[in-house]
Structure 1
Amino acid sequence: MVDYEPRVVKFHICDRPWLSLYNRNLILKTKATDEGEATSVFNGPSGDCLSDDVMYQIFARLSPSDLAACSRVCRRWNSLSFDPAHWKRICMETWPSGGNVETMKSVVSYGIYSVVSYIVRLFRVTITGGSWRRMFLERPHLRFDGVYISRHQYIRMGLTEGKYKQPVFLVTYFRFLRFYPDGICIVLTSAEKPTSAVKRLRRNWSPSANERDKATPCLGSYEFNEKTKQVTVISSVKQPKYPEMRDATVVYSLKLSSTCRGANDRLYVESHFSIHEGSDCPVFHSKDKQVKYYSFIAFRCFHERCARLFHEEDYIKAN
């Protein structure tokens, strides 16, 4: 009789430290301080604990950029963000077709589409395009969830007495354009930083005691042609802090473009002129060769984008 020893099989278990992070408290990083990197622990439940109905109501209140960002989180959020109802709401808010915006919002909220005549055109475009999301990406439109900003720079020679070398200053100022769905446009020209000047780009903005010496945003109107992608902005120029300033009307001729599919984040300047009242030469044409386009910056990442696009240049000293 032959005795057989039992065969021992050894398994090598690989160390996977990331498995210990599952089902743990979420650690959110806050802004860094001088002492070091600060962190805060969030003990609440994650998004996986919420039902699809709750997530649907949350996604129904997001902007297009936020909805696209949520689609990159996980597979579940991606399927929820591609719901046609969300993009249907976004398309109806983007193209009100000249109707009342408040009426459009009430119609969208109650789902009564057959009684509105200008909704039929949206359905035709959607059927030919394939989906509401594809319509929003491929159909040219101005963006309302941010501001179009253009930076202007020129060199100014300084004056000094008793010195051979004169300083050279680099003067920088910005032009802002904010569009609304009902054809209203806010125009602002200011030398402040974009992060400070964007707070005044509102319809109901009124200067406080500390803001009376700052530039006042001008309220104008715009027209957009989808076939040619031409944008015409007409705005009046009047600053209350300059009572002797002549009344004028500024006209911008712009062309919409995109850096990627559906971005609509560039406005190229084709012409820019002003009409002054009570002058021998009422029209002054102005086209700066350095100004090539307006860049769009969304509100959700305004500070980060401004820090990358616009650097601080105080002045340049002559050698």
Structure 2
Amino acid sequence: MASSDVSVDVRPEFNSFDHLRSIRYIATDRPWLTLYGIRVQPVTPFSSLSSRPDLALIHQCLPDELLFEIFARMSPYSLGRAACVCRKWKYTVRNPTLWRNACLKTWQRTGMEANYQMVQSLYDSSWRKMWMLRPRIQFDGISSRRILS
């Protein structure tokens, strides 16, 4: 195959698109774009003063303190499920007091002082992290074990 068979003059092809540069495009109105992000609003953490009230009916009827008292009486497994309901509940469930009570109740045989030392040294002072990472007996029918290799 000779080089003259493959060569193509490209310059006329570029010149044929020059008329597209002068075309003006019509801007179309897209009213649905204003609907994005309306329902997604940041929720302030537990017991913080907010200038903007929460619009959900359950949050208007139920004060933060009462919600916290309800969560304080729930099992840690139920707390994990409640955290999936909405952002406000997620932030409320992350309160360290709830997880401290769960840890101290679960590992009460270890002793309160030993648990406090353990949470500070091994779990970065996070009771929730201690609850999630420390092995315990589970009564929900699911058995989990760590396999050492």
Q: TM-score, normalised by structure 1?
A: 0.27
The higher-RCO structure (CA 8 Å, 6+ apart) is 2
In the alignment, structure 2 segments of 5+ residues that lack a partner are 1-27, 39-55
Counterpart of 2:75 in structure 1 is 63
Query: How far is 1:258 from its partner?
Result: 5.6
Match of 1:127 among 120, 129, 132: 120
Q: C-alpha root-mean-square deviation of aligned residues, in Å?
A: 2.8
Q: Deviations over 1:6-63 (max 9, x none)?
A: xxxx9553396xx8xxxxxxxxxxxxxxxxxxxxxxxxx8432222111101111111
Asked if 1:14 corresponds to 2:26, the answer is no
Q: Deviations over 1:64-115 (max 9, x none)?
A: 12111121222211110000000011101111217xxxxxxxxxxxxxxxxx
Q: Deviations over 1:287-311 (max 9, x none)?
A: xxxxxxxxxxxxxxxxxxxxxxxxx
Which secondary structure does the structure 2 equivalent of 1:89 belong to? helix
Counterpart of 1:137 in structure 2 is 132
1:47 alignment partner AA? I
Query: Larger Rg: 1 or 2?
Result: 2
Counterpart of 1:74 in structure 2 is 86
2:71 alignment partner AA? F
Q: Deviations over 1:215-246 (max 9, x none)?
A: xxxxxxxxxxxxxxxxxxxxxxxxxxxxxxxx
Counterpart of 2:48 in structure 1 is none
Q: TM-score, normalised by structure 2?
A: 0.55
Which stretches of structure 1, 4 residues or more, deviate above 6 A after TM superposition? none
**Matches of 1:142 and 1:119 in 2, distance apart?**
19
**Matches of 1:148 and 1:136 in 2, distance apart?**
16
The structure with the largest helix share of the pair is: 2
In the TM superposition, 1:1-319 aligns within 5 A as 11-14=29-32, 46-49=57-60, 50-97=62-109, 118-128=111-121, 129-130=123-124, 131-144=126-139, 146-147=140-141, 257=145
The structure with the largest strand share of the pair is: 1
Identical columns (%): 26
**Matches of 1:97 and 1:11 in 2, distance apart?**
67
1:134 alignment partner AA? K
**Matches of 1:53 and 1:59 in 2, distance apart?**
10
Distance 1:12 1:119, change over 3 A: closer
